[in-house]
Amino acid sequence: MYTLSLKAFAKINLGLLITGKRKDGYHTLETIFAPINWYDTIEFSDSEAISMSCSILDLSVDDNNLCIKAAKSLQQFAGTTKGVAMHLQKQVPFGAGLGGGSSDAATVLRVLNQFWQVNASPIELHALAVKLGADVPYFLAMKGLAYARGIGDELDDLALTLPYYVVTVFPDEHIATAWAYKHFYPRFDRKLPDLKKCVSELCLSGKKEDLALFENDFEPAVFDHYPAVRQVKSALLEAGSIFASLSGSGSAVFGLFEREEEALTAMHCLPETYRKSLTRPGFSMEQ
């Protein structure tokens, strides 16, 4: 039996600016996606039908799971009856704002496009990805830093990687994206910073003065309702992080560090029950 195993990496958001709300209810945004070395592993095996198992027993593996949705959407697109058995070794926490489920779905699309010999074009796969979730197109097409706008589906590959150690922390709080969009404090009328320019200067010339412009619009409301999340950011800054922020809609928080010893010390300072990840400078999602 043919079996293939691949990593599905997570992401953080360097800045997340919610810029408006569309008539269909979706919010528009601007953000910088950055990959981190925290990943799920998906194993694909030959099968007559689409099926899935997971290392976390309370995670749904029915038609509501994004991996199943991704497989069935490609199956329907291709007009095929081919199947696949998938096993998800879940490591990226859900409800964390790290895009774990979206990355899993993108990996399924990319692998099955070859596994089933569908040969869908990048444009066709992008259309399927958008329907699965706003973050899925990023994981489908990008390897490093990317600028996103629209609902997160309009992407510019920045061809950059972060020159810092990234410590990402999950403070054992699960925050639903729907909750975050319901409770954030809108600021649609402000002047927006040029995130692409700021991140380019940060990565190429080490200009750190504009780091404060990478605000996350979910952060104030999340911190007000989840004080443990706020405490993680404070702990990272006290440990020497040059910048710390909520990722996505939370609850994960990340910090950027110039020195490895400071990054490791920060990880040890936080509660042992909190799951953590260290990403080294120059990381990308190449496999």
135 included as an active-site residue: yes
- Name the more confident of 145 and 2: 145
Phi, psi dihedrals of residue 110, rounded to the nearest 5°: -65, -45
Q: Which of 123, 157, 191 is the last residue of a domain?
A: 157
Residue 45 has pLDDT above 90, yes or no: yes
**Sequential DSSP letters for 139-178:** HHH-SS-EEEETTTTEEEE-----SSEEEEEE-S----HH
Report the side by side order of strands in the sheet with 253-257: 243-246, 253-257, 165-170, 275-279
284: in domain: no
286: in domain: no
Residue 255 has pLDDT above 80, yes or no: yes
Statement to judge: residues 152 and 11 lie in one domain: yes
Statement to judge: residues 118 and 208 lie in one domain: no
Catalytic member of 11, 82, 233, 276: 11
What is the chain's mean pLDDT, rounded?
96
132: in domain: yes
Statement to judge: residues 65 and 88 lie in one domain: yes
- Are 262 and 269 in contact, with CB atoms under 8 Å apart? no
Q: What mean pLDDT is predicted for residues 207-224?
A: 96
111: in domain: yes
Residue 287 has pLDDT above 60, yes or no: no
Q: How far is the C-alpha of 101 from the C-alpha of 105, rounded, in Å?
A: 6
Statement to judge: residues 169 and 248 lie in one domain: yes
Cα of 247 vs its chain's centroid, Å: 8
Burial of 132 (0-12, 13-18, 19+ CB in 10 A): buried
Q: How far is the C-alpha of 65 from the C-alpha of 182, rounded, in Å?
A: 23
Predicted pLDDT of residue 104:
98
Statement to judge: residues 224 and 132 lie in one domain: no
Statement to judge: residues 9 and 150 lie in one domain: yes
Statement to judge: residues 174 and 250 lie in one domain: yes
285: in domain: no
Statement to judge: residues 128 and 14 lie in one domain: yes
Q: What mean pLDDT is predicted for residues 260-277?
A: 96
**Which secondary-structure segment (H or E) carries 207?**
none
How many domains does the structure of the chain reveal? Answer: 2
| CATH of residue 106 | 3.30.230.10
Each residue's pLDDT tens digit, 165-215: 999 999 999 999 999 999 999 999 999 999 999 999 999 999 999 999 999
Predicted pLDDT of residue 12:
98
Give residues with Cβ within 8 angstroms of 195, minimum separation 6: 14, 15, 17, 30, 31, 32, 147, 213, 214
Domain that holds residue 169: 165-279
Residue 231 has pLDDT above 80, yes or no: yes
87: in domain: yes
Confidence category of residue 1, pLDDT binned at 50, 70, 90: low
210: in domain: yes
Statement to judge: residues 254 and 191 lie in one domain: yes
Angle between helices 100-115 and 66-78 (to 10 degrees): 30
| CATH of residue 194 | 3.30.70.890
Statement to judge: residues 21 and 75 lie in one domain: yes
Catalytic member of 40, 104, 135, 153: 135
Statement to judge: residues 13 and 134 lie in one domain: yes
- Are 267 and 161 in contact, with CB atoms under 8 Å apart? no
Confidence category of residue 73, pLDDT binned at 50, 70, 90: very high
